[in-house]
Amino acid sequence: MKVLVLGASLKPQRYSYLAINDLVDYGHEVIAVGQRIGELRGVTISRDVPSDSDIHTVTVYLGAKNQVEYFSYLLQLKPTRVILNPGAENNQLEQQLTEIGVEVLSACTLVMLRTNQFD
């Protein structure tokens, strides 16, 4: 499954860092977008959103105010699922995505992966 990590970080103490590691461990194809360019476990972290249109899940690690610039991208991408991790909850984004048929979960990607609820 192709997964986009939005709000990716190269800092080991960040949950998005742990999520990238776990997603790779669980065999998912990971694309990462963050503030700083770099590489983690073979995953390139870019500052630009990908042009891929076959992304299944977007897992968000950005607070609501930092998500605004990605609204139109997410609506156009129309992934199967968007996971709003703790601290990333956003009623406005959730409503807009739900209206176009995207499943939106307020959940933790790490917990979902580790309890076999991700797929």
CATH number of the domain that residue 26 is part of = 3.40.50.720
Give the whole-angstrom CA distance, residue 28 versus residue 34.
18
Domain membership flag for residue 34: yes
Domain membership flag for residue 90: yes
Domain membership flag for residue 119: no
Give the whole-angstrom CA distance, residue 66 versus residue 91.
14
Domain membership flag for residue 7: yes
Q: Which domain holds residue 54?
A: 2-114
pLDDT (tens place) for every residue of the chain, 119 residues total: 999 999 999 999 999 999 999 999 999 999 999 999 999 999 999 999 999 889 999 999 999 999 999 999 999 999 999 999 999 999 999 999 999 999 999 999 999 999 999 98
Q: What's the pLDDT at 42? A: 96
Domains of the chain: total: 1
Q: What's the pLDDT at 105? A: 98
